[in-house]
Each structure stands twice: as C-alpha cells, then as structure tokens.
Amino acid sequence: MNGKIQADMTLDCIGLACPMPIVKTRKTIDQLADGAVLEVQATDKGSLADLQAWARKAGHQYVGTITEGEVLKHYVRKASTAEAKPEIRYPHTASNEELAQRLASGDDVKVLDVREAAEYAFRHVKGAISIPLGQLASGYDALSPDSELYVICRTGTRSDMACQWLAEHGFSRVKNVLPGMTAWTGETQSEVEGN
C-alpha cells in the first residue's frame, strides 16, 4: 500500500526515543519548500500523538500515518505562507454541496484533486483524478479541455491557482470547489488500509 504514498523527503527516526522524532522533524521541515510533504519514519509509538499536536500548533498539516510492522510512517505537509491568508481570485466557484449533488445525480463531471499525492492517498472524493498543483503543467494532457471539471484541494487556495492556470490553457468549464476537502462530507475513497 505504501507505494502509493509519495513524499518529497523521508526522515529516519527509527529507534529514536522522544523527544528526538519531533526535534528532527522540526529541523527537517525547515529545509522543505512550502506545500511539500515529509515522511517521518519512527518506532516510538508516542510519536503519533506528539506529531499531531505539534503540527497543529506549528501550523503544519498532519496528513496521516500508516503502520508497517513496528514502523510508523507519518506524513506532514509544510504549511505554505500563501495558505495562511486564502485568496480566491478565480470567479467560477462551486460549493461542496453542489459537487456532491452533481456526483450523486450521475452527471458527466470530472473531479480534479490538486493536493499532494500523499494527501490524496489518505482520503479523496470518490473517482477524483490526482494531479498535484506542482505537476499540473506536465500532467494536464490527461484532461479534456471540453469536460466539465470541478477542481478541489484542502481549503480552496491551491485549487484557485489551478483553475486560473487551466483557464489560461483553454479549459472553459472549470469550477473551484469551496471550501474543499477540509469540509467534504460526501463519498470518499482511500488508498491506505484502515483509513
């Protein structure tokens, strides 16, 4: 299952006792770009609760954890400064409810999830296509410019940027889904067991 979770960097904290996993995670995340995902491998069971609590306070996004034998693999996404003050510029938006309704009616609409692959792996809208924002320029060939496209991310900021970019590249039927996955209550899928 782990093959499906992608991280930009992996940090080895195997065998380290508290407080070292958090000490090292803090140092390492500073070296990452905004929005990048860090995988932290640890064997200290307490690292799960500590990492969640620390990420909440530090403003980073705790994405999820998978367990492989004795090893816990935690995924944390570095908060980006742009996300701190969400700015929605693309004019065509849709509510979570509107998208859920369109999907439930079986309409021919596509959902594009522009979050990082690791975020997508833990939980995404059923049937959503994954192209992280940073890979949109190289990955958008897979999409048809004529299809009706609902673009979603965690809070609406990355999807706003994706919508603007897609509009500039000939996509005419694109909507930004607000507020996004953070409040999504419709049907979801996961690539990770137990999630």
Partner 1 sequence: MMTTVKAMTSGELARYLIDRKPLYILDVRNEDVYGDWRIEGQSIESINIPYFDLLDGVEEAVKQLPSDGPILVVCAKEGSSVFVAEQLAEAGLREVYYLQGGMKEWSEHLEPVKAGDLPDGALYQFVRLGKGCLSYMVVSGGEAAVIDAMRTTGVYEAFAEKLGVTIKHTLDTHLHADHISGGRKLAELTGAAYWLPPKDAGEVTFSYAKLEDGERIAIGATEIGIGALYSPGHTIGSTSFIVNGQYLLTGDILFVASIGRPDLAGQAEDWAGDLRRTLYEGYRGLSEELIVLPAHFGQIDELDENGRVAAKLGDLFRDNPGLHLEDESEFRRAVTENLPQHPNAYQQIRQTNMGRIHPTEEEQREMEIGPNRCAIHDQ
Judged by CB, which is closer to partner 1: 70, or 87? 70
Shortest CB 61 distance to partner 1, Å: 16
Q: Tell me which amino acid residue 150 is.
A: Y
For residue 189, the 8-state DSSP code is: E
Shortest CB 17 distance to partner 1, Å: 4
Instruction: Using the rule CB under 8 A, give the single segment among 41-49, 83-91, 147-155, 181-189 that binds partner 1.
Output: 41-49
Judged by CB, which is closer to partner 1: 47, or 96? 47
> DSSP string spanning 105-121?
TT-SEEEEE-S-HHHHH
* Cβ atoms of residues 155 and 180 within 8 Å: yes
State both tokens at 26: 């803090």
In the list 23, 33, 84, 183, the residue contacting partner 1 (rule: CB under 8 A) is: 23
Residue 70's CB is within 10 A of a number of other CB atoms, namely: 10
Judged by CB, which is closer to partner 1: 74, or 124? 74
Distance CA 1, CA 4 (A): 6
Catalytic residue among 13, 18, 153, 163: 18
Known catalytic residues are 18
